[in-house]
A and B are shown apart, each in its own frame.
Chain A
Amino acid sequence: MEETLVKDSAVRKPKKNKKITWAVLKEQRQLIYMSVPLTAYIILFAYVPIWGWTMAFQDYKPARSFSEQKWVGFKHFEFLFKDDNFLQVLRNTLAMSVINMILGFATAIILALLLNEIRKVFWKRTVQTISYLPHFLSWIIVTGIVATSLASDGIINDILMKLHLIEEPIQWLSEGKYFWGIVGASHVWKEVGWNTIIYLAAMASIDPSLYEAADIDGASRYRKMFHVTLPGIKPTIIILMIMQVGHILEAGFEVQYLLGNGLVVDWSQTIDIFVLKYGLAQGNYSLATAAGIFKTVVSVTLLLIANGISKRLGEERLL
């Protein structure tokens, strides 16, 4: 029997359903010591402050103590949902999130696959390192470059005109319909290199004998990619996707804020920008908290659904 350190986990013992008895607790006491204190730790730092969610049901003023706050029930939630712009803002957030997610995954996986095919180690490492450099630049710098490139005299219009694809420069940032694409492309540009790190690491653990077998079967590079490498990192992809689905309302605000303007505002406003304007900027912490609660409820629901679907399909699951 092969005793490799990293082995396929297809052969597993069946799950045991242990009843919690004192005997069991004693038997597993080391595991308990190793994990329960840490759980207490996370409960302290992440869950205890949740009492602050009550702020969403008050007209919270920082100056007053807790007992002096005025209770207003669902007023802030109503404000959020009833605002004319809410649906639009929600739509924008979801659209940009989904686009970013799809583009993000697709490009990172493809790039990782291609990087994996580079034979010379030095060249591979160099390209990899350079590709994640944009991750370290702030969005302010990146959007500055994006804005310059998309200007009438910018490089994008330049190239398109030289290729005779357009006759006049296009005002990219003045048309709402381009905005989501621009945000998506900017995200890819900035993060694709960084996102490949996990996939590349995962690829390195695929059993080399699989490749040898594919070679003998006469597989081309493409087929090896699709039938060996890709399946090899499928678990990674699925887990990351499930976790990402939970973040669907986190389209962020920096990019949209920096690249947005009056002409595209119907496409560029996200929930976070909305909350910033009417929440914190007005000293309205309650609104910000209410929006946070809304986001969490949606996130967890979607997460559980995604996890459930994955389980049904027999794929990997998070929980």
Chain B
Amino acid sequence: MANHTTRPGPATAAAATKSVRRNKIEPILFNTFNTLFMMGLVVVTLYPFLNTIVVSLNAGNDTIRGGIYLWPREFTWQNYKALFASGTIYDAFWISVARTVLSTLLNLGLTTMLAYTLSRREYVFRKPITLIFILTMYFNAGLIPGYFLMKDLHLLNSFWVYVIPSMISAFNMIVIRTYIGTISESLVESARIDGAGDFKIFIRIIFPLCKPVLATIALFVAVGAWNSWFDAFIYTSSRQELSTLQYELMKLLSSSMNANSNPAVAAGAGMTQDSAVNMVTPISIRAAATVVASVPILLVYPFMQKYFVVGLNVGSVKE
């Protein structure tokens, strides 16, 4: 950590004038450079997303030719129509919303609580429990053992398989733990003197103070839950009503890639110019699917941003 604690002494007059002079030119140079750099960054990072939106609005047949950059050459809603045609998307959307909200809330609550206990130096089990959790980041038991576990726990083909196995993440826990570490001990001390137990301290004092880090973790968890499809694929695929948005989009994408290996479908025989335009191709479906999947989550982030101003400090355990 940087040094501080006491206010520095007044600078000499000479240094003051020198710095005033330097401070006139310097910010301008710096700001110009920074602004130019940021504009470049914006262009480079905005382009792929814009391009994806454009491709999603372009006729699949035409996109194949390449050369679509920032404007659709043959505008069409067909790709989006194809996404919503099968109707399974609507239910899947709500399932995704439900799992995202639940996952986020559960994670925030439980992980923070755990992080609090592990931030208490005096806790006898602190080291072993920390180790147990950290190690989980570096191994994976495998697909089949995991499947057996879900089966034995009756989580197969159940909504809860989306939420229960992923309620705590070691990474998030570390982030929160170190943030809690920066909260002044004296607050906890005085609460203890007043007779409060750890749980009360956690709920009344620590948790409300963690808003900034909670916002960050909420974002990470929400994005993760929203984007996941693999669990739907392995654990709940035989129940269509439990499908998630991402999984539905994956299915759509895969089936459009599959469509052309069926000769009868692909035959150009009898096709006119008009009907050809209605064809969707994997590229255009993928673009539309990406837009549909990302937009909801992108709307969440601006709400989170305001918490970052208050402050978050990810540090570590210091002796």
- Residues on A lying within 8 angstroms of B by beta carbon are 3-10, 12-13, 15-16, 18, 20, 24-25, 28, 30-36, 38-39, 41-53, 55, 60, 62, 111, 114-115, 117-119, 123, 125-134, 136-138, 140-142, 144-145, 148, 189, 193, 197-198, 200-202, 204-207, 209-210, 213, 216-222, 227-228, 231-232, 235-236, 238-240, 243, 246-247, 285, 288-289, 292, 296, 299-300, 303, 316-319
Asked if B124 and A141 make an inter-chain contact with CB atoms under 8 angstroms apart, the answer reads no
Write out, one digit per residue, whether chain B residues 138-164 have a CB within 8 A of any chain A CB (1) or not (0).
111111111011000000000000000
Asked if A204 and B310 make an inter-chain contact with CB atoms under 8 angstroms apart, the answer reads yes
Chain B interface main SS type: helix
Query: Chain B contacts of A125 at CB under 8 A?
Result: 302, 305
Asked if B184 and A51 make an inter-chain contact with CB atoms under 8 angstroms apart, the answer reads no
- Min Cβ gap B121→A in Å is 6
Report how far A60 CA is from B319 CA in the complex, Å: 48
The answer, among A24, A55, A114, A247, for a CB contact under 8 Å with B124, is: A24
Asked if A34 and B199 make an inter-chain contact with CB atoms under 8 angstroms apart, the answer reads yes
Asked if B2 and A227 make an inter-chain contact with CB atoms under 8 angstroms apart, the answer reads yes
The answer, among B117, B138, B171, B311, for a CB contact under 8 Å with A205, is: B311
Write out, one digit per residue, whether chain B residues 262-303 have a CB within 8 A of any chain A CB (1) or not (0).
000000000000000000000100110010011001100110
- Min Cβ gap A18→B in Å is 5
Report how far A289 CA is from B185 CA in the complex, Å: 45
Report how far A38 CA is from B72 CA in the complex, Å: 52
Looking across the interface, which residue of chain B has its beta carbon closest to that of A240?
Answer: B314
If A5-B209, A129-B301 touch, whether A117 touches B318 (CB-CB below 8 Å) is: no
Query: Chain A contacts of B110 at CB under 8 A?
Result: 38
Query: Chain A contacts of B134 at CB under 8 A?
Result: 303, 318-319
| Nearest 9 CB-CB pairings of A with B | A52-B145, A218-B19, A316-B316, A205-B311, A49-B141, A201-B312, A235-B315, A49-B145, A30-B198
Report how far A28 CA is from B184 CA in the complex, Å: 20
Query: Chain A contacts of B97 at CB under 8 A?
Result: none
If A127-B38, A243-B137 touch, whether A285 touches B171 (CB-CB below 8 Å) is: no
Report how far A228 CA is from B3 CA in the complex, Å: 9
The answer, among A32, A200, A243, A300, for a CB contact under 8 Å with B308, is: A200
If A218-B19, A232-B1 touch, whether A41 touches B26 (CB-CB below 8 Å) is: no
Asked if B315 and A6 make an inter-chain contact with CB atoms under 8 angstroms apart, the answer reads no
Looking across the interface, which residue of chain A has its beta carbon closest to that of B29?
Answer: A221
B238 proximal to A (CB < 8 A)? no
Asked if B144 and A55 make an inter-chain contact with CB atoms under 8 angstroms apart, the answer reads yes
If A16-B121, A130-B46, A141-B286 touch, whether A136 touches B297 (CB-CB below 8 Å) is: yes
- Min Cβ gap B107→A in Å is 12
The answer, among A8, A12, A117, A202, for a CB contact under 8 Å with B30, is: A117
Asked if A4 and B175 make an inter-chain contact with CB atoms under 8 angstroms apart, the answer reads no
21 contacts between A and B (CB under 8 A): A6-B183, A15-B319, A28-B198, A35-B117, A39-B133, A41-B167, A46-B139, A47-B141, A49-B142, A49-B149, A52-B146, A117-B30, A130-B41, A200-B308, A204-B309, A210-B2, A213-B8, A218-B22, A239-B315, A300-B138, A316-B315
Given contacts A210-B4, A235-B315, A316-B316, 14 further A-B contacts (CB under 8 A): A34-B114, A35-B125, A53-B141, A129-B302, A129-B305, A133-B46, A144-B283, A202-B314, A231-B2, A243-B137, A243-B171, A316-B315, A317-B317, A318-B316
